[in-house]
Each structure stands twice: as C-alpha cells, then as structure tokens.
C-alpha cells in the first residue's frame, strides 16, 4: 500500500529547548530537540516541523547553530519556522539543510515577500502558518501569533491570495485546540480544504489515531501533532511516539 498523505510531528522550540503549550499559553519543558529528532529518525517519520515560538515574538535572531545541529541529525524532510524576516535568512536556512520554511508574521507585514520567495525557491519550499481562534460566538478569527493581534482578513480570501502569491502549503493551527489532545476542529479543516487548492496541514487537538483519520477524511493533506507524539497517559508523562506502519495503514484503509 502506497501512502502519499503525511503524519508530521511538530516540535516547538523555546530558548533552545523542546517545549509544549496549551492554547499558546504556558510552556512545559519536554526535553532536548536533538534527542527527540534522533528518536523520530528511528521511528521513520514522514516529515518534521520545527518552530521557534520565541523568535518572532522577541525579534531575536534565528538560532542558526541549533538549526544546523537539528538539520544535520534529521534524516527526514525538515521544515523550520520562526524569526524569518528576509531573503538572507531563508538562504542561510536552506544552506543548512532545511527543506521548507514556515512563515507567518513576515507575510502579514509584507505579502509580496512570499512572492519573492516563491520566485526564488519554488512554492514547494514554502509553508504559510495560519493560527485561528474560534471565539465565543463560534466565529473564526486569524491571529498573528508574534504579538497576539487579530488579523482583519477573511480566511477564505486570504487563502486565495496566498495561493496567487506562491504559497505551497498551509499549516492550519486552531489555537483553542492547541495541546489539549481533545480532538481536532474538523469543521474548519473541511471548510478551508474545500475552498482552496493549497494542501492543508491540520494541526491542533490530535488525541487519537482516529482523530488523524477524521482529519484526512475532512480534507487535510497532512496531519501534524505535538502533544500526541510527546506525551503519554493521563499525567502527560514525556514519551516520544509515532504510529507504527501497520497503524498508519489502518488509518488509510477506508479513506
């Protein structure tokens, strides 16, 4: 059975350490990113996403030494996001072995930066991260995670704009679901995937293999998770896991 859809761990980095958050809030230390990558190598994961959650917020420089160490250890395609501001940043990241870059705040500041990158590197190398919050009234709002501000744009219209500017994929993260492992927001996954040609990487809320399957049924091209791959049991003990090949095959049996 040939599987083309991907199941991707997302690792969050803060001050060089591997952390997890709940609703983008308090950070919990879960280990060393290099050790995590080594374990994921052994488990033969499809791809890995590495996000520095502090770089854009604090306007600090990208930790190139850490990225170089991660890329040299990583046997699978590696996507990096956090603090990317210009072409020089992207060129250096690609030279270190990063295969994709993940952008958000720099695109909100200058959408044509995306066009510039797409022309230079190709859309296949560019992921745009969209963080979405579902408010009390059930409305979905775009959030700039670098400062917590709301982006006053229609999400569907933005997807069309991003496609025209050369985005290759969308990393869709629902803030309400972040870190809770209580199930994903399948409605928004279905809505967005039905209204764009861009592949959607669904992130946020995975609590079971069935959630992953439902996300694919809802239209996701890939499913990503953080807590589900690093925590185990009701006390959230740190244990890095990834579905076995037979479990992955079972996920796709009825899709």
The catalytic residue positions are 131
Cα–Cα–Cα angle for 16, 101, 170, rounded to 5 degrees: 115
Joined tokens for residue 126:
């560019």
Q: Are 239 and 39 in contact (CB under 8 A)?
A: no
Q: What contacts 190, CB < 8 A, 6 or more positions away?
A: 218, 219
Cα(226)–Cα(228) distance, integer angstroms: 6
Question: Is residue 147 packed enough to be buried (19+ CB in 10 Å), middle (13-18) or exposed (0-12)?
Answer: exposed
Residue showing tokens 């803060």: 14
Please give the helix or strand (H or E) that residue 44 lies within, else none: none
The token pair at 227 is 């807590």
């Amino acid at each position: 059975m040939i599987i083309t859809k991907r199941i991707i761990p997302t690792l969050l980095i803060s001050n060089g350490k591997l952390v997890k958050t709940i609703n983008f809030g308090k950070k919990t230390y879960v280990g060393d990113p290099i050790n995590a990558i080594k374990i994921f190598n052994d488990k033969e994961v499809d791809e890995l996403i590495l996000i520095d959650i502090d770089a854009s917020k604090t306007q600090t420089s990208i930790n190139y030494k850490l990225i170089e160490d991660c890329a040299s250890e990583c046997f699978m395609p590696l996507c990096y996001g956090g603090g990317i501001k210009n072409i020089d940043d992207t060129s250096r990241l690609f030279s270190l072995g990063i295969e994709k870059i993940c952008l958000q705040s720099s695109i909100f500041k200058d959408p044509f930066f995306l066009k510039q990158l797409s022309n230079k590197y190709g859309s296949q190398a560019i992921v745009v991260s969209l963080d979405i919050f579902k408010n009390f009234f059930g409305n979905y709002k775009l959030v700039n995670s670098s400062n917590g501000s709301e982006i006053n744009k229609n999400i569907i219209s933005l997807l069309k704009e991003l496609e025209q500017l050369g985005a290759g994929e969308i990393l869709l993260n629902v803030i309400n679901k972040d870190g809770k492992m209580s199930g994903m927001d399948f409605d928004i996954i279905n809505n967005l995937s039905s209204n764009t040609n861009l592949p959607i990487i669904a992130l946020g809320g995975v609590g079971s293999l069935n959630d992953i399957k439902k996300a694919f049924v809802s239209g996701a091209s890939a499913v990503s998770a953080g807590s589900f791959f690093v925590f185990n049991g009701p006390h959230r003990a740190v244990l890095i896991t990834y579905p076995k090949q037979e479990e992955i095959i079972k996920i796709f049996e009825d899709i």
